[in-house]
Amino acid sequence: MDIFLITLGILCLLVGLAGCVLPMLPGPPVAYAALILLELSSKGDFTTYQLCFWLFLVVAIQVMDYFIPMLGTKYSGGSAWGNRGCLAGTLIGLLFLPWGIVLGPFLGAVIGEMLGGRNTHEALKAGFGSLLGFLLGTVAKCVLCSYFIWIFIEALV
């Protein structure tokens, strides 16, 4: 049974890592499932505190992944129009995976800023802020999944 759980855990880690860059896969939750599977085997020796803390990190990263592009818009000079556009673009972009999740916040922020009366330069600056926020969220997911891979390997060795 241990071999099955560990093999399934390794597959979850690989899918989780792929999910960091492929928007249709939830990367960190799947990688966290690998740690749960390892815990169910005889090789896992995690405390409840560790598992709860890692679950908190997964939830925080998943929530931040949707809000970081809006923060990027705000801190690059975007207005409330840009933030609303970024949110709308994110939601609409979910319908057009995989590129919609990347382009949606960018286009939403640009269109929102232009509807709010900003010129093209300011609108593009807000759009690039949302794109930078998206990339930052992707990096955060990759770091967390890589950390889970390291923990998994360390527990096996």
pLDDT tens for each residue of 33-53: 999 999 998 888 899 999 999
Whose CA is closest to 110, among 135, 93, 94? Answer: 93
Query: Where in the sequence is the domain holding 137, given as residue range(s)?
Result: 2-156
Q: Residue 127 carries which side chain, given as an amino acid letter?
A: G
- pLDDT above 70: percentage of residues in the chain: 99
Whose CA is closest to 128, among 142, 107, 114? Answer: 107
Q: How far apart are CA 117 and CA 7, in angstroms?
A: 55
Backbone angles phi, psi at 45, to 5 degrees: -140, 50
Q: How far apart are CA 142 and CA 13, in angstroms?
A: 11
Q: What is the DSSP letter of 96?
A: G
pLDDT band at 59 (very low <50, low <70, confident <90, very high): very high
For the stretch 97-110, pLDDT in tens is: 777 877 888 888 88
Q: How far apart are CA 86 and CA 107, in angstroms?
A: 7
Query: What pLDDT score does 60 carry?
Result: 94
What is the total count of domains within the chain? 1
Contact of 109 with 75, CB cutoff 8 Å: no
